[in-house]
Amino acid sequence: MFTGIVEETGVLESIKGSVITVRCKKVLENTKLGDSIAINGCCQTVVKHTADTFSADVSDETFKITNFKTLKKGDIVNLERALTPTSRLGGHIVQGHIDCTAKYLGNMKFQVENSKYIVYKGAITVNGVSLTVSGLDGNVFSVAIIPHTLENTNLKHLKTGDLVNIETDILGRYVEKFLSISDNKIDENFLAQNGFM
Domains of the chain: residue spans and CATH: 8-81 (2.40.30.20), 100-175 (2.40.30.20)
pTM of the model: 0.85
* Residues in Cβ contact with 138 at an 8 Å cutoff, skipping those fewer than 6 apart: 115
Whole-angstrom distance, CA of residue 77 vs CA of residue 33: 20
User: Mind listing the pLDDT tens digit for each residue in 148-168?
Assistant: 999 999 999 999 999 999 999
Q: What integer pLDDT is reported at residue 182 of this predicted model?
A: 46
Residue 189 above 90 pLDDT?
A: no
Q: What integer pLDDT is reported at residue 141 of this predicted model?
A: 98
User: Mind listing the pLDDT tens digit for each residue in 82-115?
Assistant: 988 777 777 788 899 999 999 999 999 999 998 9
User: Mind listing the pLDDT tens digit for each residue in 48-64?
Assistant: 999 999 999 999 999 99
Whole-angstrom distance, CA of residue 109 vs CA of residue 156: 13
Whole-angstrom distance, CA of residue 138 vs CA of residue 125: 18
Whole-angstrom distance, CA of residue 40 vs CA of residue 165: 7
Residue 186 above 70 pLDDT?
A: no
For the chain, report the end-to-end CA distance as a whole number of angstroms: 33
| More confident of the two residues 193 and 136 | 136
Whole-angstrom distance, CA of residue 156 vs CA of residue 33: 31
